[in-house]
Amino acid sequence: MLRKIRGSLMAPRNTSFRPYSAHQLLRVHTGTLTQGNADAFAFAWQNPHADKIWIVQFATNITTAGGTGSSVLYVGPGATATTEATGITNDIDLNATGYTHKGGAIMDKKGGTLDYLTGRIKDQNAAALEGSYYLYYFVIEE
């Protein structure tokens, strides 16, 4: 219930209003894709936060194709920097240049069970691969 003071509406008593906390901000992490043979990791990233995160978008920008047809990137949350995972995608074509974007996933807090995001080169080599990856995420306040 709002109270009226001298013709103005005021906020209810004993309430506080916080429009945003640091956890509600969209964050972006970017890194470099590493070239390699089949089953090598193009990247591995550990959640640096003490809370879970929600990856809302994963994107790549491949500037130089990997060099071998049917080479793909598997991406998802894993237990270590060398865990193959497909929770986000298993079909980013590493032999095609340009941007791709995929849906997201929930990752555990740093030190949790699934606190790494890995990208593994599958099926064929991507020895000439050059490009970047981008994570757009929110920290989930617990």
pLDDT of residue 1: 45
Asked if residue 58 lies in contact with residue 76, where contact means CB atoms within 8 angstroms, the answer is no
| CB contact burial 67-104 (16+ within 10 A = b; e otherwise) | ebeebbbbbbbbeeeebebbbbbbebbbbeeeebebeb
- 106-121: pLDDT as tens digits: 999 999 999 999 999 9
pLDDT of residue 137: 95
Domain boundaries, the chain: 24-139
Question: How large is the average pLDDT for residues 118-138?
Answer: 96
Q: How far apart are CA 70 and CA 60, in angstroms?
A: 17
Q: Is residue 17 pLDDT above 80, yes or no?
A: no
- 37-51: pLDDT as tens digits: 999 999 999 999 999
Phi-psi region of 113 (alpha: psi -120 to 50; beta: other; left: phi over 0): alpha
Residues 29, 80, 71, 94: what is their CA dihedral angle, to the nearest 10 degrees? Answer: 10
Note the pTM of the prediction, 2 decimals: 0.82
CATH 2.60.120 at 24-139, yes or no: yes
